[in-house]
Amino acid sequence: MDKTQIQHYCRRYFQATGCPILRDEPGFLQVELPREIDKELMDRPYYWMWVEAIGQDVPPTVLNLVFDSETEIAGVERTELVALGSYRLEKIFQSAARRGQFVCQYQTATPSNRRVPFLLTNVKISYLADRRRDELRSFGVNLRNNQVIPDLYEAVRDLPMSCQLPEHYREQLKQTGLLVASLQTGWQRIKNTILEEIRNSDHTWAELAKEQLAQEINQLETYYESLILENEEKMDLYSAERELRVAELKWRCQPRIQVQPLHFALLYLDPTQFTAAPVRT
């Protein structure tokens, strides 16, 4: 991300969380923080414990954020630089991740009046060995017919959406038991699809990693055997150390695949626009 992209991201974050943006200029944002956002970004829990204990009404915090170290803003004495690795941007990332773990939205502006609930999830698939490769994937499932749709996020991210659901859909959401059962079934369908993709993918990388791991373990065993031959009195010590080193090596380099769900969304979509397609392998 360059400085323009970081400012755009921060702007979208503050707009989404209802923070009044007082000034928005190239390389500069002046933002007023509501109490809940202040608690997430400013990291001062004892201050808020004191404020709420005495019931004091305090003025909101105002942040003056610049996205270039050379930026100077007329009339603003103190600014805070926001860049990759900065404390404030990391707190914004954490807040966005926490708040964006689950959303519910309704597709607007389509010819059809019919909407069907879809479960959408973004997952990170990590291929781990002596090296690491991460893939970000998106999967959706039609909760009415259980059809899985790969890459659904790419298909819906630019569609007009609203978080204001019509009344009859809000009533459906109140039927918690039915909703939970439907979401659990949909998530199981997505997990099965991911597992099938993984089973059918090329695992040459894992075979090579196993060969590399076996060679390194063999070298480690040979090294400790030579130490024991030179000093048999320390055999127990060397044997214990060898076991720890081998266990550590396996922990670091044993090939494995991890699947981590990042975000979920319940989307009411026009079903005529989204049908199941062949799963990518």
The pLDDT tens digits for 236-259 are 999 999 999 999 999 999 999 999
Q: Report yes or no: 117 and 266 within 8 Å, Cβ to Cβ.
A: yes
- How far is it, in rounded angstroms, from Cα 255 to Cα 207? 8
111 φ/ψ angles, rounded to the nearest 5 degrees: -60, -35
Are both 79 and 116 inside the same structural domain? no
Q: What is the DSSP letter of 149?
A: E
Same domain, 271 and 158: yes
- Kindly state whether residues 149 and 232 are assigned to the same domain: yes
> CA 25, 26, 31: angle at the middle one, nearest 5?
45
Q: Which of 83, 99, 115 is the last residue of a domain?
A: 99
pLDDT, residue 274, reads 79
Residue 143's CB is within 10 A of a number of other CB atoms, namely: 20
Residues 106 and 7 in one domain: no
Sorting pLDDT into bands at 50, 70 and 90, what band is 125?
A: very high
Q: In what order do the strands lie in the sheet with 21-25?
A: 21-25, 28-33, 61-66, 80-81
Mind listing the pLDDT tens digit for each residue in 128-178?
999 999 998 999 999 999 999 999 999 998 899 988 888 877 777 777 677
Q: Do residues 128 and 255 lie in contact, with contact meaning Cβ atoms separated by under 8 Å?
A: yes
Neighbour count for residue 280 (Cβ, 10 Å) = 9
Residue 273 scores a pLDDT above 90 = no
Same domain, 86 and 203: no
Mean pLDDT for 215-238 is 92
pLDDT at position 120 over 50 = yes
Are 115 and 82 found together in one domain?
Answer: no
Which value, to the nearest 10 degrees, does the dihedral of the CA atoms of residues 123, 128, 131, 133 take?
A: -20
CA dist 210 and 213 (Å) reads: 5
Query: Does one domain contain both 237 and 134?
Result: yes
> Do 252 and 147 fall within a single domain?
yes
The pTM score is 0.67
Same domain, 83 and 193: no
Choose one of 36, 64, 99: the last residue of a domain. 99
Instruction: Report pLDDT digits (tens) over 39-93.
Output: 999 999 999 999 999 988 899 999 999 999 888 888 888 999 999 889 999 999 9
What is the residue-wise DSSP string for 190-249?
HHHHHHHHHHHS--HHHHHHHHHHHHHHHHHHHHHHHHHHH-GGGHHHHHHHHHHHHHHH
What is the model's pLDDT at position 279? 41
Question: What is the predicted pLDDT for the residue at 275?
Answer: 66
What is the spatial distance between Cα 202 and Cα 185, in angstroms, rounded to a whole number? 28
Show which of 99, 131, 157 is a domain's final residue: 99
CB atoms near residue 253 (< 10 Å): 18
- Range in 4-8, 100-104, 219-223, 264-268 with the lowest mean pLDDT: 100-104
Q: How many CB atoms lie within 10 A of CB 272?
A: 11
Domain hosting 154: range is: 102-281
Does 63 lie in the same domain as 47? yes
> Which bin fits 112, alpha (ψ -120 to 50), beta or left (φ > 0)?
beta
Residues 80 and 154 in one domain: no
The answer, yes or no, to whether residue 280 has pLDDT greater than 60, is: no
125 and 210 belong to one structural domain: yes
Angle (nearest 5°) at CA 59 between 57 and 63: 150
Residue 97 predicted with pLDDT over 60: yes
Asked if residue 71 lies in contact with residue 79, where contact means CB atoms within 8 angstroms, the answer is yes
Domain count, the chain: 2
Tell me the pLDDT of the chain averaged across its residues.
90
